[in-house]
Structure formats: C-alpha cells, structure tokens
Amino acid sequence: MDEIFYVQLENAKELRRSSLEATKLVIQTLQSLERLKKIRNEKTSQMSRLASLMEEVNKICDEIRISPPAIDIQTIPVKKQGKKKPISKPSPETTQLEEAISQIEQKLKGLN
C-alpha cells in the first residue's frame, strides 16, 4: 500500500514565481510591522519622558509661585527709552495721488 504518486504541474515556473512573490510580499509586510512596533515603542518612551519633564517643570513653577526668588530691585538697570522719530511729511507725489483719488470719488458721487 505504500504507493508513490507523481503529479505533473503545468506552468511550474509560473507557480514558483507567484509563490515566491507572495512570500516576498509577506516578508515586506512583516518588516513594515516591525518598523511600526519600533516607532510605537519610541513614541511611548518619548511620551513618558515628556510627562516626567512636565512634572518637573510644574514642580519648579509651583516653587516659584510659593516663594519667588529675592531680587534686589536697585541692581536691575532701567532701560532708557530712545527718542521717537518724528513723522515725516508726505511727499508731494503722495499728496498729488491723494488729490486725484478724492477728485475721482467726487465724480463717482456725482454720477450716482
């Protein structure tokens, strides 16, 4: 009863090629899954690091609110305000343009 049967496959090369392409696709998918897992792990570690830094910053802010640092007011230099530049007179070209605009507006009012 131990008979061996042989089966002939048509297009064996094509079947092998399609099988190898499918395997290649599966491997690429698994690689992208591993990259995704790595990114997720990095994200969670960065988020936990950020959370610990935020806790530290909040502690420091609370300490500053409770007892602000002592500063000698007399030692802080006061900035002198510079002189403001006077507003220059409009150029004659600008005034001519403004006059032309006002004349055009008056003509438009006359048309209405």
Q: What confidence tier does 78 reach under pLDDT thresholds 50, 70, 90?
A: low
Residue 33's domain spans which residues?
9-67
Residue 107 lies in a domain: no
The pTM of the whole model exceeds 0.75: no
Tens digits of per-residue pLDDT, 11-41?
889 999 999 999 999 999 999 999 999 999 9
77's tokens: 């230099």
Q: Which helix (H) or strand (E) holds 79?
A: none
Our count of domains for the chain comes to 1
Q: Which helix (H) or strand (E) holds 88?
A: none
Residue 73 lies in a domain: no
Residue with token string 């530049």: 85
Residue 72, pLDDT score: 64
Q: Which amino acid is at 98?
A: E
Query: Left (φ > 0), alpha (ψ -120 to 50) or beta: where does 11 sit?
Result: left
Residue 36 lies in a domain: yes
Residue 43 lies in a domain: yes
Q: Which residues contact 98 (CB under 8 A, 6 or more apart)?
A: 90
